[in-house]
Amino acid sequence: MSKALVYQTDFGTSDGAVSAMYGVAYKVEPTLRIFDLTHDIPQYNIWEASYRLVQTVQYWPEGTVFVSVVDPGVGSARRSVVARTRTGQFVVTPDNGTLTHLKLMVGLDEVRLLKEDVHRLQGSELSYTFHGRDVYAFSGARLASGQLAFDAVGDTVPVDSVVELSHVAAHREGDTVEGTIDVLDVRFGSLWSNIPHELFAGLGIEHGKRVEVSIRNDMREVYRNTMVYARSFADVALFEPLVYINSVLNVAIAINQGSFARAYNIGTGLSWKVTIRRAPRIVYE
Amino acid sequence: MSKALVYQTDFGTSDGAVSAMYGVAYKVEPTLRIFDLTHDIPQYNIWEASYRLVQTVQYWPEGTVFVSVVDPGVGSARRSVVARTRTGQFVVTPDNGTLTHLKLMVGLDEVRLLKEDVHRLQGSELSYTFHGRDVYAFSGARLASGQLAFDAVGDTVPVDSVVELSHVAAHREGDTVEGTIDVLDVRFGSLWSNIPHELFAGLGIEHGKRVEVSIRNDMREVYRNTMVYARSFADVALFEPLVYINSVLNVAIAINQGSFARAYNIGTGLSWKVTIRRAPRIVYE
Amino acid sequence: MSKALVYQTDFGTSDGAVSAMYGVAYKVEPTLRIFDLTHDIPQYNIWEASYRLVQTVQYWPEGTVFVSVVDPGVGSARRSVVARTRTGQFVVTPDNGTLTHLKLMVGLDEVRLLKEDVHRLQGSELSYTFHGRDVYAFSGARLASGQLAFDAVGDTVPVDSVVELSHVAAHREGDTVEGTIDVLDVRFGSLWSNIPHELFAGLGIEHGKRVEVSIRNDMREVYRNTMVYARSFADVALFEPLVYINSVLNVAIAINQGSFARAYNIGTGLSWKVTIRRAPRIVYE
């Protein structure tokens, strides 16, 4: 039986691009099951493409083939690759940083070069700008359907050589954990940090206790307040802030039924740092 | 054979949340057919989630399993339930009002408690904020695939006890029908009232005749005009208003190729009332 | 085995309309494979619906059934038809211009009348405004599943009689090619002209050479500059403009990682003309 094929792009779904990618895969194998991760990656935003993969991949079975096309360098010398994660899923993608989070957080088992002139939809030779359709969807479908074995994709390349975007690991310093704000829970405006729940757990703070949260953009502090470390939103009053462990088991910061990001103009990326510590007691003397 | 599984959320599709829900269901049963109602329910808007279900459910066969996750109270004491409608579809949802319209307009046959600690994706114990993935998608997939029988979900709860959002029934008073504006035909801006076509039919107004429409927000009248009661948009000139019977067989008000809601700043909800009567004759003496 | 069914509408996916269309098809045949072209056609924009079909159809196999519902004239005397393209796909649509590009660029083999009162979901007689669900999705599903043969749809109508939107063919005049800007690559803001790559190739300009591009809105020139004729975006510097052959093999104009349309306020349609010629040499004497 074929494996699932899952698409991610920054194309949106307002024109025919994604549907052409579906058609190509359907032609390869009409019984193939094709799904979407998202097509709303902000244009050219490789970091977010990388994050959405790590957020999702583990919920799909071994053998699932992801095709991720955020490809500002289409037509340049950037490589195309197929990676197998340590948990057994495949990712077909330009090697432009899209594999960053999977490499760091899940691990890559083996990576193979995908030659764009070999693994290519017949008749697409004049088209130089839509590898998503002509190369990636086509090859992903052949891989998912078993028509192309992983071993036959192309030469292996060292996992070390896979392009990584800059990143800074979260760390603990005494009673404080510090990390970056990696991404937003888009619709709800919660801040998702790169602080793993185990690192935070080292501080020994229990659910229901208060923590102090400080957020900096470069050197400038843009937010500082104390709030409850809660299990879930409903543990705090409406419109109150909270710290919680999110669905990928990292520390996150939110407002119950509000957008933290919009309320305080918080962005994402390496320049956005967050530190968390047990809230100080306030003593009147 | 498995039944169809249909998802509705307020998550949007810009991040990996919905795809993780798909992966979970696919892992339960790889041949399962999974579809979307919508993921664009405005955040926390339980009323609209309830409406979209009643607008859609009847077009799917008996046995279809809907999973609806608009869940501002995730982590609170609100119950999770599985309801069977009188027409034989299932809905897996937090019991927070999402079943309001189905209960009123279609009827609920039987409702069972879904224990969140029992019916839960293995390994998700640390995640308290994403029941959509960990509880509802997982249980919906097991139900649709036949791995979990409805009888085995949990204890029945009285249909009466299912949470209902406030609502006011449409009614007729002499020559006038009055109702509320329940929802918009989102993209087109038509007003969908809760006045059933049978109630309106009682006024004995024929297609092509003029009616008078008055719209009030609380006590204030914000619109009054006469317009044609038309079969369809094409029965009136471009940009002319009309009253018609919409696709769920309620009375609706629109502008042909325009947005009534935007043209006159009309909203939805209990404070938005509409009355319709035969247009008066205008007599010059 | 059933053929693929592919939907296109201007309904958006924020309410239950598209899901009702899915349910109707699923009820016709539960094993049917249903896909989306797009549901984000701007409201009532028949031209764009027509374009998205021609952009996509050829990537799907023979026998695929497209259902396209951009139908401002629902309820008027406009015909409903099923067309078979010269490449063997079917399109179920109101005959309102939606078939323009397919007729011109792919060719229509045979067109049959779809009687709305015959080919209609049972029980939908009171609904006059949602042919997408009641007539088109229903008939498309019956066609794709083999329950309705193309021959049995209804009488043939002359291909000549199929409604065409106004259009102007691209042409060459000496050393210059001229065309219209048909559509945008929505998310990226590139201009897609109607100039076929063969027409442009007649100018004998090689990749890497410079061309002069002039864009006019009616009589007014709104842009004139020279830029490289590139294979792909990566052939020019970041934020530099380029001319290239797009994924449907027409001439297109873009900014590498920028939006040409937004940068220079360029629109689409017959009033937007583009001319391209070899860039003049600039000689200092």
B 127-186 near A (Cβ less than 8 A): 127-130, 133
For the cut 80, the answer to whether the pLDDT of residue C112 exceeds it is yes
CA distance B11 to chain A (A): 6
Residue numbers in A near B44 (CB within 8 A): 257
ipTM for this model: 0.93
Minimal Cβ distance to B126: which of A55, A188, A249:
A249
Q: From CA B116, how far away is CA B136, in angstroms rounded?
A: 9
Query: What is the rounded CA–CA span in Å between residue B61 and residue B56?
Result: 11
Q: What is the pLDDT of residues B32-70, one digit of tens each?
A: 999 999 999 999 999 999 999 999 999 999 999 999 999
Residue A123 pLDDT level (bands cut at 50, 70, 90): confident
For residue B195, which of B261, B245, B242 has the smallest C-alpha distance? B245
Interface test with C, best of B187, B251, B259 (most C CBs within 10 A): B187
Residue holding tokens 């994709």?
Answer: A153
User: Interface partners of C (3+ CB pairs, < 8 Å)?
Assistant: A, B
Lowest mean pLDDT segment, chosen from A14-28, A71-85, A153-167, C203-217: A71-85
pLDDT, residue C281, reads 83
Contact between chains at C129 and B233 (C-beta distance less than 8 A): yes
Chains contacting A (3+ CB pairs below 8 angstroms): B, C
- Mean pLDDT of the residues in chain C: 95
Determine, for residues B244 and C129 on separate chains, whether the beta-carbon distance falls below 8 Å: yes
Q: What is the pLDDT of residues C213-228, one digit of tens each?
A: 999 998 899 999 999 9
Instruction: Give the pLDDT of residue B162.
Output: 98
Give me B65's structure tokens.
């399993």
- Return the HEC string of chain B: CCCCEEEEECCCCCCCHHHHHHHHHHHHCCCCCEEEEECCCCCCCHHHHHHHHHHHHHHCCCCCEEEEECCCCCCCCCCEEEEEECCCCEEEEECCCCCHHHHHHHCEEEEEECCCCCCCCCCCCCCCCCHHHHHHHHHHHHHHCCCCCHHHCCCEECHHHCCCCCCCCCEEECCEEEEEEEEEECCCCEEEEEEEHHHHHCCCCCCCCEEEEEEEECCEEEEEEEEEECCCHHHCCCCCEEEEECCCCEEEEEECCECHHHHCCCCCEEEEEEEEEECCCCCCC
Which chain C residue is nearest to residue B249, measuring alpha carbons?
C127
Measured between beta carbons, the chain A residues lying within 8 angstroms of C192 are: none
Per-residue confidence (pLDDT) for residue A284, from 0 to 100:
82
- For chain B, positions 88-127, list CB contacts with chain A under 8 A: 126-127
pLDDT over 90 at A117, yes or no: no
Q: Go through the domains of chain A in sequence order and give each one's CATH number.
A: 5-161 (3.40.50.10790), 171-278 (2.40.30.90)
DSSP-assigned letter for residue A76 = S
- Choose among A15, A23, A44: nearest Cβ to C185: A15
**Residue range B106-115: mean pLDDT, rounded:** 96
Question: What value does the mean pLDDT take over residues C137-166?
Answer: 97
Alpha carbons A4 and B160: distance in angstroms, whole number: 42
Residue A58's φ and ψ, nearest 5 degrees, are -70, -15
* Higher pLDDT, residue B87 or A74: B87
DSSP assigned state of A119: S
Give the mean pLDDT of B266-278.
95
CA distance to partner chain B, nearest, from residue C174 (Å): 44
Which residues, in sequence order, are CB contacts of A137 under 8 Å at separation 6+? A7, A21, A22, A24, A25, A67
- Which pTM does this prediction carry? 0.94
Do the Cβ atoms of B127 and A36 come within 8 Å? no
Interchain CB contact of A240 with B (< 8 Å) = no
Is the CB of residue A82 less than 8 Å from the CB of residue A116? Answer: no
Cβ atoms of residues A34 and A5 within 8 Å: yes
Tokens 């094929």, located at residue: A5
pLDDT value for C203:
97
What is residue A78's three-state secondary structure? coil
Q: Does C264 touch chain B (CB under 8 A)?
A: no
Contact B244 C128 (CB under 8 A): yes
Of C19, C126, C134, the CB nearest to B245: C126
Q: Rounded to whole angstroms, how far apart are CA atoms C115 and C155?
A: 9
- Contact call for B1 and C26, based on CB within 8 A: no
> Which of C15, C39, C66, C78 minimizes the C-alpha distance to B246?
C15
Determine contact: A35 vs chain B, CB below 8 A: yes
Q: Which residues of C touch B6 (CB under 8 A)?
A: 19, 23
For residue B245, give the chain C residue with the closest CA: C127
* A1 has a pLDDT exceeding 80: no
- AA letter at B148: L
* Mutation target among C50, C56, C66, C145 for the A interface, most CBs of A within 10 A: C56
Q: Which residues of A touch C197 (CB under 8 A)?
A: 126
What is the per-residue pLDDT for B184?
A: 93
Q: List all residues 6 or more positions away from B164 whose beta carbon is below 8 Å from its beta carbon.
A: B97, B99, B100, B103, B104
Question: Which of B232, B244, B251, B255 to substitute to test the interface with C, most C CBs within 10 Å?
Answer: B232
* Nearest neighbour of A38 by CB, restricted to B10, B16, B128: B16
Q: Average pLDDT of C45-69?
A: 96
The one-letter code for the residue type at A217 is N
The Cα–Cα gap between A194 and A196 comes to: 6
pLDDT digits (tens, 9 = 90+) for C227-269: 999 999 989 999 999 999 999 999 999 999 999 999 999 999 9
Nearest chain B alpha carbon to C72: B257
pLDDT level of residue C65 (50, 70, 90 thresholds): very high
Q: Which two tokens stand for residue A63?
A: 């053998």
The model's confidence at residue C73, banded by pLDDT at 50, 70 and 90, is confident
Q: How far is B115 from chain C (nearest CA, A)?
A: 29
Calpha distance C51→C61 (Å, rounded): 19
| Residue B123: per-residue pLDDT | 84
Closest C-alpha among C106, C254, C83 to residue C161: C83
- The answer to whether the CB atoms of A187 and B14 lie below 8 A apart is yes
| Rounded distance between C-alpha atoms, residue A244 and residue A266, angstroms | 17
Percent of chain B surpassing pLDDT 70: 100
Testing the interface with C: which of B40, B62, B64, B247 to mutate, by most C Cβ within 10 A? Answer: B247
Q: Residue A126's pLDDT is what?
A: 80
Give yes or no for a contact between A176 and A276, defined as CB atoms under 8 angstroms apart. Answer: yes
Q: What is the mean pLDDT of chain A?
A: 95
Whether chain B has a CB inside 8 Å of the CB on C35: the answer is: no
Tokens of A209: 């206790």
pLDDT at B118: 87
Identity (one letter) of the amino acid at C105?
M
Q: Which two tokens stand for residue C282?
A: 């600039």
Residue A89 near residue A68, CB atoms below 8 Å: no
A202 contact C CB<8A: no
Q: Does the beta carbon of C17 lie under 8 angstroms from any beta carbon of chain B?
A: yes
Chain C: residue nearest B37 by CA?
C19
In this complex, how many residue pairs, one in chain A and one in chain B, have their CB atoms less than 8 Å apart? 101
Cβ distance of B76 and A232 shorter than 8 Å: yes
Chain B contact set for C30 (CB, 8 A): 1, 4, 33, 61
Count Cβ atoms below 10 Å from residue C182 Cβ, excluding itself.
Answer: 26
Instruction: State which residue of chain B sits closest to A236, comparing Cα positions.
Output: B76
Q: How many CB atoms lie within 10 A of CB B74?
A: 21
In this structure, what are the phi and psi dihedrals at residue C137, rounded to the nearest 5 degrees? -65, -45
Q: How confident is the model at residue C124 (pLDDT cuts 50, 70, 90)?
A: confident
**B71 vs chain C: nearest CA distance in angstroms?**
18
What average pLDDT does the segment B93-100 reach? 97
Q: Averaged over A202-229, what is the pLDDT?
A: 96
